[in-house]
Structure 1
């Protein structure tokens, strides 16, 4: 059972309601049994039923302990003769319900052992009841509604316990499989994002190295009036830049999947393209206020990362919160780029769709990509709902003058 702010959760209320229903069923069966009546007083049926059903209400707090309590209580009242002959299986219904939760949360080995123990205890208690208690009970005045026979009781309880264990085990297997799938998808998203980052870095570095190669080649051809060492140095620069460019192409081509199409080189997006991003978001119904303060020119790689973070943040706003109002602030001071994207939430009052920020610590794939880009520069990234409503994304990218991480 989980307490939140001093209040019971929805599952706790459901368990309490089920416990009350089972207690009423057990109490009614003891008061008006299908077979011979219990030698105990009629009023004792309700305290007995309450004790038997209590583990259901608190099973989520200590599932294993409550399973032991439920099984021991069922066996105890059975051996004591405070149960309904012909319907002893009702006494072990709380054990069945708690065993389901144990099987859904514990390991298969532990839950299977618990099933074996509970079944053994129930069988032993029923055999003792029919051997020592049942012969001394007064015969019912009317024909029995249910035959009072130990094989029927044991068979019913055995089926119920086995089915509860099987269902709980299936739920646990499905939950574990889903968790593994989620982790796999998150890892795949990180790998895909890193591959895309590598391609974009390929464009930036490839473009820069191409310029170096061209300038070095020109310098090499017009350097007749220069000393010979200058010509030799330019020749080394030309050769080094060309071999480096070839190596970059070779290594980064390994990051491409076999089915990825080859794309023609395109200019890398940067700070100058941010107004176009804002215009696209406005056309989708988001009122974007863009504020850019750039005291120093950003290196191409950093500018592209800033562009991609703002692009993904605006995409999330359009997809999950629009139409709404959004403020985008980019502050560049020569040492770091600080990005903040804040939206006011949906104007229609509907909650954000799944994916606006995602679930869990990593969030959706968009947040994973932004976090990975920030991590490249050793920066900090934060994203989450705002107390006053809406969502906030903040990233800080420290960098060196050459565009590498600071």
Structure 2
């Protein structure tokens, strides 16, 4: 009764052990085990029915010899270096002890060829070259010992052999197989490393692009708002004693602009989080509908803005953000370098491209003229235009003032034209 009571538990434990071992094997391990079994059958068949003289070992020994020689193939992915040493050692021992057969010694070293490929494909060139040289040397030595000491003691063949004894051919076949498979493995390793370097380079480039995008967004947000705050703070400081009511108005603009800036910074940070957090994907981004608010901010800083928007079709969101940022940066430059002044902003969207033009009349005070190039603001606007394959220009007008123009071609899907 006790025996029958324990039997199911033993079966369950054995089943669980087998299943645990099977789960540890992935598809490549199963393929290696299958290759080892197939190689063992080929080696055993060769030892039982050789093309040359029979081995002095009994016929039944072909199966354990084939299993031991082929075993390293099954474990070559987990311990490639150790399995290469084991495969080469078993091949040498099988040859020098007479278990191998005349004319097919190369079959005994075929498992070494399989393992050498894995070593060449996964380890350094120096190590794999060392393994190749060691295996070649061991195989050559084993073949010479076999032909010098083992072959003379074998019984003569009863009939003409398919492959007559000829050690240079044996050594040549083994040498060609080992060298060729090492070269293939080295090429595979080189391609993998090249691909990995390319992937790393692309990842680093993506990170750099993301950093530039973040820097551009923060520059546009903070630069625009700080310009308004600086202008209003300067006005408040100069008229604090004479016109205190203007101070209160200036502080109100500063408060409103500061809150808006904080909201914009939070929006940028939330967009960064939205890459891995779907709950943040609903965060709104600025677009064409927010242009009047930009104009209102510039007016509060002393710039008479005349905004004209002609939008025949709705812009894709990505293009609309770029249009908004270009107008924002252009107005920031006007507030910083020319206020108080008059400025006209024109945005024309016709379904194929968005054309932006921001023109100011120049400062009403004596200020040095702005340069036509340089500055992170102009660089950022130019990058946004180039991102869509468009054009960008900025420079002083002959009649005075400054002009910024940009053209952003696009297709209805929102990609660059």
Structure (1 or 2) with the larger CA radius of gyration: 2
Number of the residue aligned with 2:148 = 131
Note the 1:60-71 alignment, pairs <5 A. 60-71=77-88
The alpha-carbon distance between structure 1 residues 313 and 121, as it changes in their structure 2 partners (threshold 3 A), is closer
**Where does residue 142 of structure 1 map in the other structure?**
159
Candidates 89, 99, 111, aligned match of 1:82: 99
Alignment of 1:301-380 (within 5 A): 301-307=265-271, 309-310=273-274, 312=275
> In structure 2, what is the Cα distance between the partners aligned to 1:186 and 1:225?
59
Check 1:71–1:308 CA distance in 2 against 1; reply closer, same or farther (3 A cut). closer
**1:300 is the counterpart of 2:264:** yes
Distance 1:41 1:51 in 2: 16
How far apart, CA to CA, are the structure 1 residues paired with 2:280 and 2:200?
A: 33
1:58 corresponds to 2:75:
yes
The structure-2 alpha-carbon separation of the partners of 1:187 and 1:327, relative to structure 1 and needing over 3 Å to count, comes to closer
Aligned pairs (5 A) from 1:192-203: 192-203=209-220
Q: CA deviation at 1:141?
A: 2.7
User: How far 1:44 sits from its partner (Å)?
Assistant: 0.8
- 1:394 corresponds in structure 2 to none
Question: What is the CA–CA distance in structure 1 between the aligned matches of 2:116 and 2:133, rounded to whole Å?
Answer: 11
- Deviation (angstroms), 1:142: 2.9
Q: Distance in 2 between matches of 1:141 and 1:224?
A: 125
1:163 aligns with 2:127: no
1:14 aligns with 2:27: no
The 1:177/1:29 distance shift into structure 2, 3 A limit, reads same
1:152 Cα shift? 0.4
TM-score norm. by structure 1 comes to 0.57
- Mapped to 1, the partners of 2:55 and 2:183 lie a distance apart of 33
Moved more, 301-310 or 176-185: 301-310
Extract structure 1 runs of 4+ deviating beyond 3 A.
3-7, 216-224, 307-310, 326-330
Deviations 1:244-280 (A, max 9, x none): xxxxxxxxxxxxxxxxxxxxxxx9xx9xxxxxxxxxx
For 1:29-40, what aligned pairs fall within 5 Å after superposition? 29-40=46-57
Decide whether the 8 Å contact of 2:271 with 2:280 is kept in 1: no
In angstroms, what is the RMSD of aligned CA positions? 3.1
**1:143 to partner: Cα distance:** 2.5
Q: CA deviation at 1:298?
A: 5.1
Determine which structure has the larger helix proportion and give its number: 2
Task: Pick closer, same or farther for the CA change 1:200–1:329 going to 2, 3 Å.
Answer: closer
Deviations 1:312-367 (A, max 9, x none): 469xx8xxxxxxxx89688xxxxxxxxxxxxxxxxxxxxxxxxxxxxxxxxxxxxx
SS in 1 for 2:109: helix
Where do 1:205-284 residues align within 5 Å? Answer: 205-219=222-236, 222=239, 225=242
Seen in structure 2, the aligned counterparts of structure 1 residues 202 and 35 have a Cα distance that, compared at 3 Å, is same
**Residues 185, 328 of structure 1: alpha-carbon distance in 2 compared, 3 angstrom cutoff:** closer
Separation in structure 2 between the aligned mates of residue 308 and residue 108 of structure 1, nearest angstrom: 42
Pairing partner for 1:100 from 117, 129, 142: 117
Q: Distance in 2 between matches of 1:125 and 1:135?
A: 15
- Structure 1 residues 171-227: Cα deviation after superposition (integer angstroms, max 9, x where no partner): 111122222222221111111101001110111111112212332454466457269
Aligned counterparts of 2:219 and 2:64: Cα–Cα separation in 1? 76
Distance change in 2, residues 1:308/1:105 (3 Å)? closer
Structure 1: gaps (5+ residues): 235-266, 271-296, 318-325, 331-406
Q: CA deviation at 1:309?
A: 3.9
